[in-house]
Amino acid sequence: MKTTSPYIKIALPLFAVAILTAASAQADTYSWTNFQSDIAGVAQHVDENLVNPWGMAASANGTIWVSDNGTGVSTLYHQDGTAVSLVVTIPTAARNRGTGNPTGVVFNNTPFFQVTKNGNSAPAFFIFASEDGSISGWNPNLDQTNAIIAVDNGRNRGRNSAVYKGATLGVANGHNFLYVTDFHTGKVETYDESFHQVNPGGFVDPNLPAGYAPFGIRNFNGEIFVTYAKQDHAKHDDVPGPGFGFVNVFDTSGNFLRRLISNGNLNAPWGLALVNGELWVGNFGDGLINNYDPVTGTFIETLMRADGTPLQFDGLWDLLPLGNGVFWVGGRGRSNWTHLPTLQSPPAREGAGMTYDAFLHRAILFGGQDNNGYFNDTWELIP
């Protein structure tokens, strides 16, 4: 194993904010302390908005913005894990009947990617991609507590509706572009500085097996790294499993450069980070973080605890190197859940899904639609 820096942080896990430190300078082993959680007693602080935290981005002053997929907001944190009072609501696509469901988020320090409200326009300082097919931007001079819709490719597009799972920015030929992963259609979409979609034929892997779609995405040194996960039947969510995943590298014009990683230790990979010259790949499927050579794709190691067992976090999402550390977020299974008393019924709908949670001993209803659009909610029947 390679020697690591003596102090390296990883923060913001499943329902929580944590700090991970190197337990040994002789080997890559780690321990951690939880900062924030939406569950009392799990961490040093409680933030009820921190439900299924997904993507992260840092502002110019180092404040961490988190996309809370389960509550439809973005919460902000100092690097010591304490919360910032500002909470930004993420808007929904026109036919989304539930709350917003942001995934990827990027910090934009250019004068481009403007959003408009009440006839006034300004650059979006933070840009959010959402599972309902919307892309939104936030500028405090337009609205302090709400992001503003810039793109709506939701259910209004019918069968071709988008399900955005990640976002990153890049520069090609002197112009800025936004790249988002559309898990439903299996494409990486490219948007110009005015949020107009361009380059529809870009980001194609000619040898990608059927049933896989772009999942996570990140720009490292002018190259776009894209992770791929296996699609479920509805092409909305990933199917976890050992070896289920790929990582490709493209240039910022969408040209395929190389297949970096195939199968192996991948399991629905989403999180990506460059740390000490190594590519950290976080698996959503099994919660492991594996290290690879970012040029050759050669596997280096799996992050380990001091006791010799793999470092593993259920529902691992983003990885964010910042300062002398790497912050991380994760969450699984609690997005948009409403506790349903036995005498209350959810809104009437058609085409909803139903399942049973044997661990919690509860029936769960989710999704569906009515004449006004599609529901983005989940109800659990508490006995």
Q: Is residue 1 part of a domain?
A: no
Please report how many Cα atoms fall inside a 13 Å half-sphere around the Cα of residue 75, on the Cβ side: 27
* Token pair belonging to 336: 């948009």
Q: Do 333 and 359 reside in the same domain of the chain?
A: no
d(CA 373, CA 18): 38
Look at 3-7, 37-41, 69-73, 194-198 and tell me which has the smallest mean pLDDT: 3-7
Q: Do 62 and 77 reside in the same domain of the chain?
A: yes
Per-residue pLDDT reduced to its tens digit, 142-152:
999 999 999 99
Across-strand partners of 191? 178, 197
When pLDDT is averaged across residues 89-114 and rounded to a whole number, the result is 96
pTM: 0.84
* Token pair belonging to 241: 């499993």
Number of compact structural domains in the chain: 2
Q: Do 190 and 323 reside in the same domain of the chain?
A: yes
Contact 89, 75 (CB under 8 A): no
Helix (H, G, I), strand (E, B) or coil at 310: strand
- Residue 170 neighbours by CB under 8 Å, 6+ apart: 176, 177, 179, 219, 222, 224, 252
- CA 115 vs. chain centroid, Å, equals 22
Residue 24's pLDDT is 43
Q: Is residue 5 part of a domain?
A: no
Per-residue pLDDT reduced to its tens digit, 189-204:
999 999 999 999 999 9
Q: Do 94 and 204 reside in the same domain of the chain?
A: yes
Position 174 confidence tier, pLDDT thresholds 50, 70, 90:
very high
Type of residue numbered 68: D
Per-residue pLDDT reduced to its tens digit, 330-367:
875 443 333 333 345 566 666 665 555 444 445 666 56
Q: Is residue 163 part of a domain?
A: yes
Q: Do 125 and 253 reside in the same domain of the chain?
A: yes
Task: Identify the domain containing residue 262 by its residue range.
Answer: 16-337
Q: Is residue 146 part of a domain?
A: yes
Q: Tell me the CA distances in angstroms from 46 to 15, 79, 82, 167, one per residue in order.
A: 9, 16, 10, 28
When pLDDT is averaged across residues 65-90 and rounded to a whole number, the result is 96
Helix (H, G, I), strand (E, B) or coil at 156: helix
**CA-wise closest residue to 236 among 330, 164, 286:** 164
Per-residue pLDDT reduced to its tens digit, 284-303:
999 999 999 999 999 999 99
Q: Do 169 and 314 reside in the same domain of the chain?
A: yes
Number of helical H runs and strand E runs in the chain: 0, 35
Contact 271, 316 (CB under 8 A): yes
d(CA 101, CA 135): 11
Instruction: Compute the chain's Rg from CA coordinates.
Output: 20
What's the CATH number where 174 sits?
2.130.10.10
Q: Do 250 and 349 reside in the same domain of the chain?
A: no
| Better pLDDT: 89 or 326 | 89
Residues in the chain: 383
Answer whether residue 54 shows pLDDT above 80.
Answer: yes
Q: Is residue 9 part of a domain?
A: no
Position 40 confidence tier, pLDDT thresholds 50, 70, 90:
confident
